[in-house]
Amino acid sequence: MDKKNSRPAAVADRIRFFEEIGASFVFKPEPGRTHPPAPAPEPVPPASAPASSASKLVRSAAESGLDLPRSARTLEEISAEVRKCRRCGLAAGRTHAVPGEGHSKAPILFVGEGPGHDEDVQGRPFVGRAGQLLTRIIEAMGFQRSEVFIANIVKCRPPENRVPHREEAEACAPFLLEQITVLRPRVIVTLGKTAVDFFLPNVKAMSSIRGHFQEWHGLPVMPTFHPSYLVRNEGNRELKKMVWDDMQKVMAFLRGE
């Protein structure tokens, strides 16, 4: 299929995705009339302070800010060390370490579990099927991938994509913590239970906190499902809508609502 003919299909696919997640800016054409697709919303500008309608927890977190000391290194310097790291056994089986990527002043930090096969091959986070879904969610929020930051709890792929062992997560933790102190994002979005366990270790079930702002070292944390969970349950529209509801809360917080 040539590029000219592929454009309508791409637009239709994008609209279907927005409809599935319940994005409010998508509309269905009236019978007999053709409308251009509604544009995605503009990137959410940072707010100087959250409005009075924000929850007490999120308000206090935003006002206090990150209470960890700022790193003296740049993100590039941290990434260079990650690529040379041999702190745990995961390094022996990797093709590439995956430090993370994005804007140095990103308002949102997305944190997942660890690299998969495609990420291990390319050395970039979230580039497989789950990554493509995350990219679409980010774009539906009005951002480009390059405007946020995406990272994982561990920087090397666990064998067979298993859940990282505790000692592996602990070995990688200094890298993620240092990245956070450089980024100082306004919101952290945790993708899946492994990421939740890192920031909120006493949580027993995702269902108890998903979609509700938590606080970690003075930063608001929004727990939501991992995109791979949505991929595995591709026919479940309700899961997609739940994640979109969570992202709408993040967007509202950034707007100061």
Residues 96 and 209 in one domain: yes
Let me know whether 57 and 183 are in one domain. Answer: yes
CATH number at residue 79: 3.40.470.10
H/E run at residue 79: helix 75-84
**Per-residue pLDDT, 34:** 34
The reply to whether 33 and 83 lie within a common domain is: no
d(CA 216, CA 114): 20
For residue 139, the tally of other CB atoms under 10 A from its CB is 15
The confidence score (pLDDT) of residue 47 equals 34
pLDDT value at residue 67: 83
pLDDT of residue 5: 55
Q: What is the pLDDT of residue 209?
A: 95
Q: What is the pLDDT of residue 43?
A: 38
| Domain assignment of residue 22, given as a range | 1-40
Same domain? 9 vs 98 = no
Please report the pLDDT score of residue 14 as a whole number.
Answer: 59
Cα distances (angstroms) measured from residue 109 to each of 24, 68, 161, 176, 222: 24, 16, 22, 11, 10
* 157 and 231 housed in the same domain: yes
Q: Are residues 87 and 12 in the same domain?
A: no
Looking at the fold, whether 6 and 71 belong to one and the same domain comes out as: no
**Low-confidence stretches of the chain (pLDDT beneath 70):** 1-64
Q: 88 and 3: one domain? A: no
